[in-house]
Every structure is written in C-alpha cells, then in structure tokens.
C-alpha cells in the first residue's frame, strides 16, 4: 500500500508527463500512453483526494482543472489541456497533505 507521500510524487510525475506529451506526443518506445496516463491521473487523484487532511482548500481547483484538461484533450485543444495540467502541477502537489 502506497503512502500519501508516494501517491503525490506519482501524481506529480503523471502530471509532468501529461504537460508535455498529452494527448498525442507520447513516445512510441515508452510504456506510457495517453489512456494509461489519464487513468493514472484519475486513480491517483481519487486516492489522494480521499486521504487529504490539510489541503482540502485545493480540492475544488484540482477537480476543476482535471476536468478542464480531460475535456480539452478530448476536444483536440492540446495547449489548453496542457495549461490546465500545469496549473495543477504548479501547486506543488508533491507537498499535498
């Protein structure tokens, strides 16, 4: 079972990959795909969200930006999606508690 700290580090990494590769720039040689990266973001955020104690004020912002990113990527608006992902990343999500 992963600790909250481990989950936030993984979430930060998934955000970093999405900020540069999503939705269609994932390298062919890598194991991460758009679908797997988006699923990781959703799963990790659900787990983090359920265990947050101190940073509950950031939950609505992250929820909204994730939805914005998924919608933008699905609508072909790559830069808008990447900006939404970066907005979350810039919250220093590794430090969420």
User: Is residue 4's pLDDT more than 90?
Assistant: yes
Residue pLDDT, tens place only, 42-92: 999 999 999 999 999 999 999 999 999 999 999 999 999 999 999 999 999
pLDDT at 18: 97
User: Is residue 1's pLDDT more than 90?
Assistant: no
Residue 65 contacts residue 84 (beta carbons within 8 Å): yes
Q: Give the phi and the psi of residue 63 in degrees, each rounded to 5.
A: -55, -50
Q: Cα(87)–Cα(45) distance, rounded to whole angstroms?
A: 15
Domain ranges of the chain: 4-95
């Amino acid at each position: 079972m992963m600790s909250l700290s481990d989950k936030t580090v993984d979430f930060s990494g998934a955000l970093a990959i999405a900020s540069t590769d999503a939705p269609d720039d994932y390298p062919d040689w890598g194991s991460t795909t758009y679908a797997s990266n988006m699923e990781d973001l959703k799963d990790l955020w659900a787990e983090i969200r359920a265990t947050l104690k101190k940073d509950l004020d950031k939950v609505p912002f992250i929820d909204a930006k994730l939805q914005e990113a998924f919608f933008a990527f699905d609508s072909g608006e790559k830069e808008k999606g990447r900006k939404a992902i970066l907005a979350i990343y810039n919250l220093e999500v590794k430090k969420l508690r």
